[in-house]
């Protein structure tokens, strides 16, 4: 008997339950679906292609990579190899769920077998005792920890006898020449081991410091499933890092219950808030030319590397929503285009958290001051000088207030725009 193992957000062979459910002989398949590739910019695509090359190597050069519509391709390929079943990790996103339902239907007599998901606890499974979803993070995270998760599954590439593709496989060339983290499962396992052994202990103190290598950089690996969070959780005790992984699970759960929150305010009261739609200020934000050093550093880091530190993501997002009064989804779309770790659930809800429009919202009236945030989290100015080279001659904290040292003032005045944001919020509060 032959199976198809259809890889999607699980580009690994260890701790992969689909390999346990598949037949001993299987075809490994990945479909480059334009619904997946079109919203992604060059960094995420380059990282994906590199991960696929690594996976192909682990599968003895037998991974079939094809381009097209999975609803047409997966049943055709399964029939061509005489497969009796197609095995996947369940997709929890709105598009993935409807695509999988369509593929399952199109497969007819061929079984579609879902085993596991990209999360420690599958989205939708943690509920309040009355069966309704949690809307606030802290009680969710407690219930999530109480629910618990399985031990990592004992699998590797040799669990399955991979059959040779019967048609031409094609992984496109990298569209991005810049440095990205090393791709693939081995790199993910190494990165995790290095972080766990060398930096996990200082994570609670350094995680908010963009000027230090304090965080794990595991997000691109988690995005593509080069490592499963279960493998990481097996090494973790309760603490700050585990809580961050719980945020990832929470946002996937929120999206599961509210698929429209990928595009719309979760709190529909905010549909009425007055917004601006100025393309020129948006372009300045995208280019990192607002005049606020920490905002500009973050946006330029994103442009150059496809990544941005979490604290800085919050600061630049707050600036777009509360200082420029632009729609959060403009910023979210820009992030999704450029981030190497762009993930619909974490990104859209990270934006809604900052905008104050989401579940468990930070109150709208809490407005980040980009100057004091910069001074607090980049106290010596090293981060802003690294990404905004025109500030290189302003030593220490001075780099956070260039307008006091002969530079042009920022594009807007934070104190004024804060008042505007609060007035607009008060107008819809009742």
Ligand X SMILES: Cc1cc2nc3c(=O)[nH]c(=O)nc-3n(C[C@H](O)[C@H](O)[C@H](O)COP(=O)(O)OP(=O)(O)OC[C@H]3O[C@@H](n4cnc5c(N)ncnc54)[C@H](O)[C@@H]3O)c2cc1C
Per-position DSSP letters for 6-33, written without gaps between them: EESS---STT-HHHHHS-SEEEEEEEE-
CA angle 65, 40, 32 (to 5 degrees): 15
d(CA 118, CA 224): 9
Tokens of 39: 């919203």
Tell me how far, at minimum, the Cβ of 210 lies from ligand X, in Å.
Answer: 10
> Measured from the CB of residue 342, what is the shortest distance to ligand X in angstroms?
4
> Using CA atoms, how far apart are residues 403 and 390, in angstroms rounded to an integer?
13
Residue whose C-beta lies closest to ligand X: 350
Summarize as ranges the residues that interact with ligand X (CB under 6 A): 207, 215-219, 222-223, 244-245, 247-248, 251, 310, 313-314, 317, 335, 339, 341-343, 346-347, 350-351, 354
Q: Shortest Cβ distance from residue 315 to ligand X (Å)?
A: 9
C-beta of 169 vs 186, nearer to ligand X: 186
Give Dmax (Cα) for the chain: 74
CA geometry: angle 48, 50, 54, nearest 5 deg: 115
To ligand X, the closest distance from the beta carbon of 119 in angstroms equals 10
CB of 18 or CB of 352, closer to ligand X:
352
Select 367 or 394, whichever has its Cβ closest to ligand X: 367
Residues 6+ apart with CB under 8 A from 3: 22, 23, 25, 26, 27, 83, 84, 85, 86, 87
Nearer to ligand X, 5 or 245 (CB): 245
Q: Minimum CB separation from ligand X for residue 203, in Å?
A: 7
Quote the least distance from Cβ 346 to ligand X, whole Å. 4
Nearer to ligand X, 49 or 247 (CB): 247
Task: Tell me how many degrees the CA angle 300-304-306 measures, rounded to the nearest 5.
Answer: 100
3 vs 347, which CB is nearer to ligand X? 347
Least distance from C-beta 115 to ligand X, angstroms? 22
- CA dist., res. 43 & res. 192, Å (int): 21
Contact 144/126 with Cβ under 8 angstroms? Answer: yes
Nearer to ligand X (CB atom), residue 77 or residue 336: 336
Q: Cα separation of 146 and 144, whole Å?
A: 5
Q: Which is nearer to ligand X, 219 or 301 (CB)?
A: 219
> Please, are residues 103 and 79 in contact by the beta-carbon 8 Å criterion?
no
Nearest to ligand X of 140, 247 (CB atom)? 247
Give me the least distance between CB of 309 and ligand X, in Å please: 6
Q: φ and ψ at 192, to 5 degrees? A: -65, -45
Cα angle 163-168-83, degrees, rounded to a multiple of 5:
40
10 alpha carbon, distance to own chain's centre: 14
Count the helices and strands in the chain (H runs, E runs): 19, 6
Report the distance separating Cα 271 and Cα 268, nearest Å.
5
Closer CB to ligand X, 59 or 200, in the complex: 200
Dist. CA 292–CA 311, nearest whole Å: 15
C-beta of 314: minimal distance to ligand X in Å? 5
Name the minimum Å distance from CB 103 to ligand X.
25
């Amino acid at each position: 008997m032959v199976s198809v193992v259809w890889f999607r957000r699980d580009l690994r062979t260890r701790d992969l339950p689909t390999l346990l459910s598949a037949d001993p002989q299987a075809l490994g398949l990945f479909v480059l679906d334009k619904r997946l590739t079109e919203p992604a910019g060059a960094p995420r695509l380059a990282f994906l292609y590199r991960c696929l090359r690594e996976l192909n190597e682990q599968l003895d050069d037998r991974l079939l990579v094809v381009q097209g519509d999975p609803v047409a391709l997966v049943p055709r390929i399964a029939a061509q190899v005489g497969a009796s079943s197609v095995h996947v990790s369940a997709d929890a996103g709105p598009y993935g769920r409807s695509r999988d339902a369509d593929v399952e239907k199109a497969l007819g007599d061929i079984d579609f077998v879902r085993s596991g998901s990209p999360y420690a606890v599958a989205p939708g499974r943690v509920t309040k005792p009355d069966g309704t979803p949690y809307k606030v993070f802290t009680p969710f995270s407690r219930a999530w920890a109480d629910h618990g998760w399985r031990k990592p599954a004992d699998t590797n590439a040799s669990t399955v006898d991979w059959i040779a593709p019967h048609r031409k496989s094609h992984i496109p060339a990298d569209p991005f020449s810049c440095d990205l983290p090393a791709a693939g499962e081995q790199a993910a396992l190494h990165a995790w081991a290095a972080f766990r052994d060398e930096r996990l202990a200082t994570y609670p103190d350094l995680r908010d410091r963009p000027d230090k290598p304090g965080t794990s950089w595991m997000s691109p690996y988690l995005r593509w499933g080069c490592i499963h969070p279960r493998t990481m959780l097996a090494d973790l005790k309760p603490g700050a890092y585990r809580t961050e992984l719980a945020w990832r699970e929470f946002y996937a759960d929120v999206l599961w219950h509210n698929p429209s929150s990928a595009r719309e305010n979760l709190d529909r009261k905010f549909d009425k808030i007055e917004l601006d739609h100025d393309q020129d200020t948006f372009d300045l934000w995208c280019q990192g030319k607002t005049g606020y050093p920490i905002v500009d550093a973050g946006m330029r880091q994103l442009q150059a590397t496809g990544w941005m530190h979490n604290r800085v993501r919050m600061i630049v997002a707050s600036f777009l929503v509360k200082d420029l009064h632009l729609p959060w989804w403009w910023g979210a779309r820009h992030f999704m285009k450029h981030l190497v770790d762009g993930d619909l659930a974490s990104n859209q809800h990270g934006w809604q958290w900052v905008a104050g429009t989401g579940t468990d919202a930070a109150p709208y009236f809490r407005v980040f001051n980009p100057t004091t945030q910069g001074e607090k989290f980049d106290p010596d100015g090293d981060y802003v000088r690294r990404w905004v080279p025109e500030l290189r001659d302003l030593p220490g904290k001075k780099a956070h207030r260039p307008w006091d040292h002969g530079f042009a003032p920022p594009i807007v005045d934070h104190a004024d725009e804060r008042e505007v944001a609060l007035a607009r919020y008060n107008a819809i509060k009742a």
